[in-house]
A and B are shown apart, each in its own frame.
Chain A
Amino acid sequence: KNEVEQSPQNLTAQEGEFITINCSYSVGISALHWLQQHPGGGIVSLFMLSSGKKKHGRLIATINIQEKHSSLHITASHPRDSAVYICAVIAFGGSEKLVFGKGTKLTVNP
């Protein structure tokens, strides 16, 4: 079992829908990243958070350290949001380690 699990693996939505992508992890962490990988392959860093909530435009990321869970929300989704969303945690343990989830593929249809 991977130390970082994302759900769902695949998600199809209609334009305008509210989207939630989940990330659960089984290790102690200092922080968590959300990344977006476009269909063309390019990767963009969306958020880095260690507590609470961050918002950027239509994207909101939350983290609950006690429950070892983070969510990425997209409000008023648009076809251009179609991408793979990847969660990565900065795990404790001797030296810090960056551990990635397998990603959630989001398709937003017009």
Chain B
Amino acid sequence: DTAVSQTPKYLVTQMGNDKSIKCEQNLGHDTMYWYKQDSKKFLKIMFSYNNKELIINETVPNRFSPKSPDKAHLNLHINSLELGDSAVYFCASSQDNRRYTDTQYFGPGTRLTVL
């Protein structure tokens, strides 16, 4: 049973396209996150949702829009993809709604390549 799952694992697409990455957690957690890991392996938080509500939106272009249909899902939609969006995107979840202080459980990552 995968605790935090992401689909797809790999995504290759052309510049200008719109794409989505899905994330689901079966841990019953209240808080979910999206992270971006660039080519230098540097992790950066993008968004955090608690019970379907946006808590944190770091300085991310508005081409990125998270959508949370319920507290077990946090999908990431990216419009007008650019070369610089190529990265590995990780979803994570945590039980506690106090930001960042609880253990986070990470998904396996989605490697996005924009050509």
Give A residues with C-beta under 8 Å from B: 30-31, 33, 37, 41-45, 48, 84, 86, 88, 90, 95-98, 100, 102-103
State which of A42, A45, A97, A102 has its C-beta within 8 Å of the C-beta of B109: A42
Q: Are A90 and B108 in contact (CB under 8 A)?
A: no
A41 to B89, CA, bound (A): 11
B40 touching A48 by the CB < 8 A rule?
no
Residues of A within 8 A of B41 (CB): 37, 84, 102-103
B 58-99 contacts with A by CB, 8 A:
58, 88, 90, 92, 99
Q: When A and B form their complex, what is the total count of cross-chain residue pairs whose Cβ atoms lie within 8 Å?
A: 45
In the complex, which of the residues B42, B99, B108 contacts A102, with contact meaning CB atoms closer than 8 Å?
Answer: B42
Binding site for A on B (CB under 8 A): 40-45, 56, 58, 88, 90, 92, 99-106, 108-109
Does more than half of chain B's interface fall in helix, strand or loop, or is it mixed? Answer: loop
**A100-B43, A102-B41, A103-B41 known; A42 vs B108 contact (CB < 8 Å):** yes
Taking A84-B41, A103-B41 as contacts, is the C-beta distance between A41 and B101 under 8 angstroms? Answer: no
Asked whether B43 lies within 8 Å of A90 as measured between CB atoms, the reply is no
Indicate whether A30 sits within 8 Å of B108 (C-beta atoms), given known contacts A86-B43, A98-B45.
no
How many angstroms from the CA of A102 to the CA of B43 in the assembled complex?
8
Give, as a whole number of angstroms, the nearest-CB distance from B61 to chain A. 18
Contact of B88 among A31, A41, A44, A102 (CB under 8 A): A41
CA separation between A88 and B90, bound complex, in Å? 15
